[in-house]
Amino acid sequence: MFKDFELKRICRTSTYNLSSQSQVRYEHSYSKPLYLTTTRMTMGPARRHVSDNKDAASLGQALKFEFSGQTARNRFLKGAMTELLSSWDADNVEARGVPSEDLVNLYRIFGQGDIGLMLSGNIMIDHDHLEAAGNAIIPRGSIFSGARFEAFKRMAAAAKMHGSLFIGQVSHPGRQVKSNIQKHPISASDVQLEGNILGSTFEKPRAATKEDITNVVEGFTHFHATNKSTFQTS
């Protein structure tokens, strides 16, 4: 069992249920250092699920994807995460979403882990519909050359350097675009994501029109062309 310990944070108070035996209550702020007000955190015994011992050798075996013809060297997969390591400019939207050298280096390190298949974090298709500032972006109609394209090529090459497959994750945030980025989001419906979620608020979206849907399809299609030439081949 974990002993009680002090977790120092400030501002808004939240309570999280971790299991039937434990709760976490703490005060927090996402814009200031994590200290000042003191509270206590208690966790009960971890719940364990017992299973038979199994041979894990199959995880090291190659896995062929019949549709694409690609083969992963093993069956380990790095799931998609949001990295927020691409360029951001509050005023010049076209300067947003270029992968940084930090992002390139991150995937270089991931690639050293002998992972069979890696998925990238969110790669958006619009400059002004983002999950968060710092998302990578391949805009609709962007050319397959220049600083943006070359940055994505370096990112993919770093990830694949040791034989991993690398797949870019195309994304559109729908209603889940923060208020400071988009005041008029489009989504599948006009149902708003209400409340303050992890320090973020979201505007009421409008239901996508046929033209909006066409634009999203075109964005995904354009991304696929980039993805095919840049990410997938090991």
Does some domain include residue 143?
Answer: yes
Check whether residue 22 and residue 87 sit in a common domain. Answer: no
pLDDT of 177-217, one tens digit each? 999 999 999 999 999 999 998 889 999 999 999 999 999 99
> Rounded mean pLDDT of 46-70?
89
Does some domain include residue 50?
Answer: no
Q: Check whether 139 has a pLDDT greater than 70.
A: yes
Q: What is the pLDDT of residue 43?
A: 59
Check whether residue 90 and residue 126 sit in a common domain. Answer: yes
Check whether residue 111 and residue 36 sit in a common domain. Answer: no
pLDDT band at 96 (very low <50, low <70, confident <90, very high): very high
Check whether residue 116 and residue 33 sit in a common domain. Answer: no
Does some domain include residue 51?
Answer: no
Q: What is the pLDDT of residue 232?
A: 53
- Kindly provide the b/e burial profile for residues 135-164, where b requires at least 16 CB atoms within 10 angstroms of the residue's own CB: bbbbbbebeeeeebbebbbbbbbbbbeeeb
Q: Check whether 21 has a pLDDT greater than 50.
A: no
Check whether residue 29 and residue 95 sit in a common domain. Answer: no
Check whether residue 75 and residue 13 sit in a common domain. Answer: no
Interacting residues of 48 by C-beta distance below 8 A, sequence separation 6+? none
Contact 73, 163 (CB under 8 A): yes
Does some domain include residue 52?
Answer: no
Q: What is the pLDDT of residue 52?
A: 86
Check whether residue 184 and residue 100 sit in a common domain. Answer: yes
Among all chains, which residue has been given the structure tokens 């109609």?
141
Mean pLDDT of the residues in the chain? 82
Q: What is the pLDDT of residue 45?
A: 73
Range of the domain at 98: 68-230
Task: Calculate Rg over the CA atoms of the chain.
Answer: 21
Does some domain include residue 215?
Answer: yes
Contact 137, 97 (CB under 8 A): yes
Q: Which amino acid is at 196?
A: N
Q: What is the DSSP letter of 174?
A: T
Does some domain include residue 56?
Answer: no
pLDDT of 27-47, one tens digit each? 333 344 433 334 445 556 778
Number of domains in the chain: 2
Q: What is the pLDDT of residue 53?
A: 87
